[in-house]
A = this chain, B = another copy of it.
Amino acid sequence: MRFKLTIAYDGTNYSGWQVQPGKNTIQGEIEAAIEATTSQKVKLHGSGRTDRGVHAAGQVAHFDIETRMTPRSMLFALNSRLPTDIRILSATRAKNDFHARRTAHSKEYRYVLFNGGILPPCERLYAVQVHRPLDMELMRKGAERFVGEHDFCAFMANPQRIVESTVREITSFTISKRGSFITFRVRGNGFLYKQVRSMVGMLIRVGHGQEKPERITELLDCKAERTARVPSAPPQGLTLWKVWY
């Protein structure tokens, strides 16, 4: 039977989601907890990878297993074995046509900047400091330009990587400010490798007046040269917030 897990994690102490030999990864920890619980080796399929240092509030994954355990007892068993920086928020049975990656129809990411004097120490692992003042209106104008269906080729970290298509649709991109914290909320039907961090990196340049919001439209759909890509923003500000099916 197929189990669907909703998972939250603090990515600080992990080399990202995906299993890599000799590294601590979220997928690896959860697969080990499932094996310790059920004595069965399974492969856990996530909705997508997250990079080293990136967090999740609602990552989704599935795995197949023959067991009499209820989803509820699976949830308690896994949480009792997992380190406290990884928590299973819910476990449910899923139909066999459910697939954490393939049947996801949209995702939300959030990115948090601190645009003030001194980053509070207890926020240092979850927000990224930007020293010079950022213009909220310019960044909002820039964010609007990302909304819609576009070829995001210029906002992918590794353009050499073979992907079927670099066309994605952003359905909303909002920016809010509370005190010195600025939160970017972006939702779309899927995201390329490092796309969110590249878009945020570009919006920081826009907020500093180094780029005009119109520049985003020039870069979208590969209308400008590819080498114009901006550095992606650091990982610790990013959280995979929610996946919809």
Which A residues form the contact surface with B (CB < 8 A)?
8-10, 55, 57, 79, 84-89, 117-122, 124-126
Contacts and interface: CB of A to CB of B under 8 A. Distances in A.
B10 A118 contact: no
Contact of A119 (B57, B87, B120, B122): B87
Contacts of A124: 10, 84-85
A79 B122 contact: no
- So how many copies of this chain end up in the complex? 2
Nearest to A122: B10
Contacts of A125: 122
Contact of A121 (B9, B119, B121): B9
25 contacts: A8-B120, A8-B121, A8-B122, A9-B121, A10-B121, A10-B122, A10-B124, A55-B121, A55-B122, A79-B118, A84-B119, A84-B121, A84-B124, A85-B121, A85-B124, A86-B121, A87-B118, A87-B119, A87-B120, A87-B121, A88-B118, A89-B117, A89-B118, A122-B125, A122-B126
